A and B are shown apart, each in its own frame.
Chain A
Amino acid sequence: MKWLKLLRTFKEGGVNFYRNGSLTFVTVTVLTVSLFAISMALLLLYIANMVMIEAQNRVNISVYFKSAVEESRILEVKSKLEEYDEIKYVKYISKDQALEELVSYSTKNETIKKALDEVEENPLNSLLVIGAKSPDQYARITEAVNSSFFSEDVSNINFYDNEENIRRISNVILMTKKAGLIFGAIFVLIGILITFNTIKLTIYSHKQEFEVMRLVGASNLYIRMPFIFEGIFYGLVSGLIVVVLLFGASYLISPLTDGNIPQGNALKVFWGHIWIILGGVFGAGILLGMVSSFIAIRRYLKV
């Protein structure tokens, strides 16, 4: 009996969904717009975050050693530095490697080539490239290097040249995260409110029918279930449309993100997270439709 009633209310929800015509169209449109706005906000936030992380990874400081310092000494310093929690990686570049890089670079630049030809000896110093876990830690790392046991061996740290850039990037990252969260939260809230109110109006238009259903002997659950199923159908159809729209949006913004995020571009992010996107969009749509219906119908089932 329970299964029979469940099946009947499911079927009834489906029949209502397509017989309601324009009302269904409006509700699905509103739900689609809300879900799309929410997921677009989250997707952009995610991509912006990725761009930031990529930029962050490209930031580092170089500690140049005086030419008299032995390689073993530099490697000792390297292993000391690697012990710090704030430091993500330390890369050793010997003066020979530095020269090699410069030579290969100089094939494109005549002036450097000429300069190198004139100096017979390797004029470059060995260096350690340090990457921090967060860009706001470079100042502290530089300070630590300056006051360390090997500060005498250091000829120059390029942090001071990059200080302004590093500070700017770290500020932008913080700002983006904050703004993204605030906008994301606003979109989610607006989406929920609009959807809830639209479904409330849809159910309001059936108000008089509830009385009839009750008087014919339908239990509250039997009256409610078709509307909850209808809400689920709204969510499913809107979810499907939103996933297609998200694909389109990722496709369109892909060229802008090419090479600026670790995954490659926005389209790759879309495919890489397809299961999360499907689950999230359909889950949010169904939940929004179902819960809105459930709450909206409650007030009409008092008698």
Chain B
Amino acid sequence: MIKFENVSKIYPGNFAALENIDLVIEDGEFVSIVGQSGAGKSTIFKLITAEELPTEGEVIFNDKSVKSIKRRHLPYFRRNIGMIFQDFKLLPQKTAFENVAYALEVAGYTNEEIAEKVPEILDIVGMGSKAEKYPRQLSGGEQQKISIARALVHNPHVILADEPSGNLDPISTWEIMQLLLKINSLGTTVLLATHNKETVDKLRKRVIGIENGKVIRDDKTGKYII
């Protein structure tokens, strides 16, 4: 469970990225966070991964305040979370297989486990045949699928997808959404930040609307309305 308790994030220069946010996201939910660029969607993700700390209030992840996590424990904490980005953020010098394997290597999985899990997850995202390709040899949609495989491979509690379809064509976008729904149906919590109206309307899942750092709506099966 992820909980925001009266969270504000003020950047230097008195710029408030988030103001008095109260949110509860239950395990297994699929939540779309919508809003224009600069509304504060990415800041919410950064607070969950402890890349940033709240200026006020508490972010609770699985009953533990994110603020209280020691710096040296952050890598372990982050292994509970799978991240997907608009620009994929794959490691360019590594093949698709190695990119996915990296998430397991850093967590200390054995070589046998890696050899078993990586092909499995690449098959799930439909990229089994592209395992030996480098990111530059793949299309945007394919790169995003690899990035999803990387986020998923160590069975995280939560997937944070920050504009995952921002750079993709409509068909690839829908494929990615189908994948996220599939992941969610297997029990993983999915948080999707997007400003793609069509996608959100089709999903028919919970929608949280953010504007100027404030929650302006929170609908159980909402549509993209701002």
Contacts and interface: CB of A to CB of B under 8 A. Distances in A.
A212 B103 contact: no
B108 A215 contact: no
Contacts of B51: 215, 303
B170 interface: no
A4 interface: yes
A108 interface: no
Contacts, number: 51
Nearest to B160: A215
Interface string B75-99: 1101100010000011111000000
User: Which secondary structure dominates chain B's binding surface?
Assistant: loop
Contact of B106 (A16, A211, A218, A303): A218
A214 interface: yes
User: Which secondary structure dominates chain A's binding surface?
Assistant: helix
A219 B75 contact: yes
A191 to B, nearest CB: 28
Interface residues of A, number: 22
A303 B49 CA distance: 11
Q: Which of B90, B106, B150 has the most CB of A within 10 A?
A: B106
A216 B156 CA distance: 11
Contacts of A209: 91-92
A19 B92 CA distance: 10
B110 A214 contact: no
Interface of A: 1, 4-5, 8, 15-16, 19-20, 208-209, 211-220, 222, 303
Given A216-B150, A217-B107, A219-B106, 13 more contacts: A1-B108, A5-B105, A208-B89, A212-B89, A213-B91, A215-B89, A216-B78, A216-B102, A216-B106, A217-B103, A217-B106, A218-B106, A222-B106
Interface of B: 49, 51, 72, 75-76, 78-79, 83, 89-93, 102-103, 105-108, 110, 150, 154
